[in-house]
Amino acid sequence: MSQGFNTRAVHAGQEPDGTTGAVVVPLYQTSTFAQDGIGVLRNGYEYGRGTNPTRDSLQTQLAALEGAGHAFSFASGLAAEDALIRAALAPRDHIVLGNDVYGGTYRLINKVLSGWGISNSAVDMSDQDAVRAAVAAGGPEGKTRMIWVETPSNPMMKITDIAALAQIARDAGAVLVVDNTFASPYLQNPLALGADVVVHSTTKYIGGHSDASGGAVVLNDTELAEKIGFVQFAVGAVSAPMEAWLTTRGLKTLGVRMDRHCENAQHIAEWLLTRPEVERVLYPGLPDHPGHELAARQMRKFGGMISVQLTGGEAAARSVAEATRVFTLAESLGGVESLMNYPAEMTHASVKGTALAVPENLIRLSVGIEDLEDLLADLAQALDGI
């Protein structure tokens, strides 16, 4: 990791094409590769589900940006998570996960992988005693083999101490997985803090333009990496060439985009505090956020995501969510355009009625890279209209 982040983002895995000198790695939109004799491959390329040069370039870029030895890219964040869990665990193993993980992650583990014999318990990851107790308790049939955390978490923006969790995981012989989607590798590198595996929904900040779905698993452990590579090939939830190409294109500008996301978000969070319609602003860049000091230690900046609780309850939250015009009402996050989300009915509808349910007066903003004045004016008119 001798070069700076932005240099790696632009150049890692992006050598000019060997045949033509094309400066940008081409979109190898092909499902198979000609053989020069039976089993005589050119540069190892055989079949698209196995390997593709466009996907390889993205995987090299992702590994370089997390400071890792291995990266695997998938068709979605959840496909990446599924492959990781199937590769790392076996039936009867137990996962301890944050009680505010992404709703789709909880659904995957609790509704799909439970049928494969994986049990789970959800705890407050910022409470280290609770984590230790849940890890020690294990599952009904087996030991805790994995700890899963998101920091900052979605949508409550809780910050968890990655290095402390890594110690708990090491003591228990479990694998610590950090979902680094919200921070992106520009703001936080969990492997350097002691985590074993990083997962990303590259659909979000890494792709950055809301035009490609994808996911990634990034790690150093070669033995586990081989297992993940096998599941990736054997199951085939790989990123398609076009998606990989778009994601690489987006990832090159992650640093410059993220600087702007963070700058806009900090201003908006401070401005929201001045509004009487606002009960609470959840943004780690605010000094009174409970995770502020920890975030300042383990992240480079505070990110582009803000959650807001409104004094007017559910009705006010719904009203604001539907009234913005520059902020588009949509699921997802991390794109150049600002997005508005009402988690209780949108991104977190899958955890409604469970312990992971989110407050009904909460809206979540993914702050884009537009001009700050336009974003503030848009939020002001939406709040005025409650």
Ligand X SMILES: *Cc1c(COP(=O)(O)O)cnc(C)c1O
CB 193 within 8 A of CB 222: no
Tokens of 254: 């992650």
Q: Which residue is nearest to ligand X (CB)?
A: 77
Residue holding tokens 């998101």? 150
260 is catalytic: no
Which residue of 5, 28, 33, 102 would you call a contact of ligand X, by CB under 6 A? 102
Q: How far is the CB of 108 from ligand X (least distance, A)?
A: 9
Does residue 179 belong to the site contacting ligand X (CB under 6 A)? yes
Distance CA 341, CA 318 (A): 9
Q: Which helix (H) or strand (E) holds 96?
A: strand 94-98
Which residue of 181, 184, 298, 324 would you call a contact of ligand X, by CB under 6 A? 181
102 is catalytic: yes
Q: How far is the CB of 26 from ligand X (least distance, A)?
A: 25
Q: How far is the CB of 264 from ligand X (least distance, A)?
A: 19
Residue closer to ligand X by CB (options 204, 318) is: 204
Does residue 160 belong to the site contacting ligand X (CB under 6 A)? no
Does residue 366 belong to the site contacting ligand X (CB under 6 A)? no
Active-site residue (options: 55, 86, 204, 249): 204
Residue closer to ligand X by CB (options 93, 150) is: 150
Tokens of 191: 């492997």
Residues 185-224 that bind ligand X (CB under 6 A): 201, 203-204, 213, 215
Helix, strand, coil percentages for the chain (3-state, nearest 5): 40, 15, 45
Strand ordering across the sheet containing 144-150: 70-74, 215-219, 197-201, 175-179, 144-150, 94-98, 119-123
**How far apart, in Å, are the Cα atoms of 114 and each of 121, 141, 200, 243, 349?**
11, 12, 22, 30, 20
3-class SS at 281?
A: strand
Does residue 261 belong to the site contacting ligand X (CB under 6 A)? no
Residue closer to ligand X by CB (options 204, 301) is: 204
Does residue 51 belong to the site contacting ligand X (CB under 6 A)? no
Does residue 252 belong to the site contacting ligand X (CB under 6 A)? no
- What is the 8-class DSSP label of residue 238? B
Which residue of 76, 248, 264, 338 would you call a contact of ligand X, by CB under 6 A? 76
Three state DSSP letters for 7-72: HHHHHCCCCCCCCCCCCCCCCCCCCECCCCECCECECCECECCCCCHHHHHHHHHHHHHHCCCEEE
204 is catalytic: yes
Handedness of CA 30, 31, 35, 39 (dihedral sign): positive
String marking each residue 105-124 x if it binds ligand X according to CB under 6 A: x-------------------
Residue closer to ligand X by CB (options 105, 361) is: 105
- What is the 8-class DSSP label of residue 216? E
Which residue of 62, 78, 224, 367 would you call a contact of ligand X, by CB under 6 A? 78
Q: How far is the CB of 281 from ligand X (least distance, A)?
A: 20
Q: Which stretch binds ligand X (CB under 6 A): 41-49, 177-185, 187-195, 310-318?
A: 177-185
Q: Which residues of 203-237 are buried (b: 16+ CB within 10 A; e: fewer)?
A: bbbbbbebebbbbbbbbbbeebbeebbebbeeeeb
257 is catalytic: no
Number of shown-chain residues binding ligand X (CB under 6 A): 16
Q: Which residues are known catalytic residues?
A: 49, 102, 179, 204
* Residues in touch with ligand X (CB under 6 A): 76-78, 102, 104-105, 150, 154, 179, 181-182, 201, 203-204, 213, 215
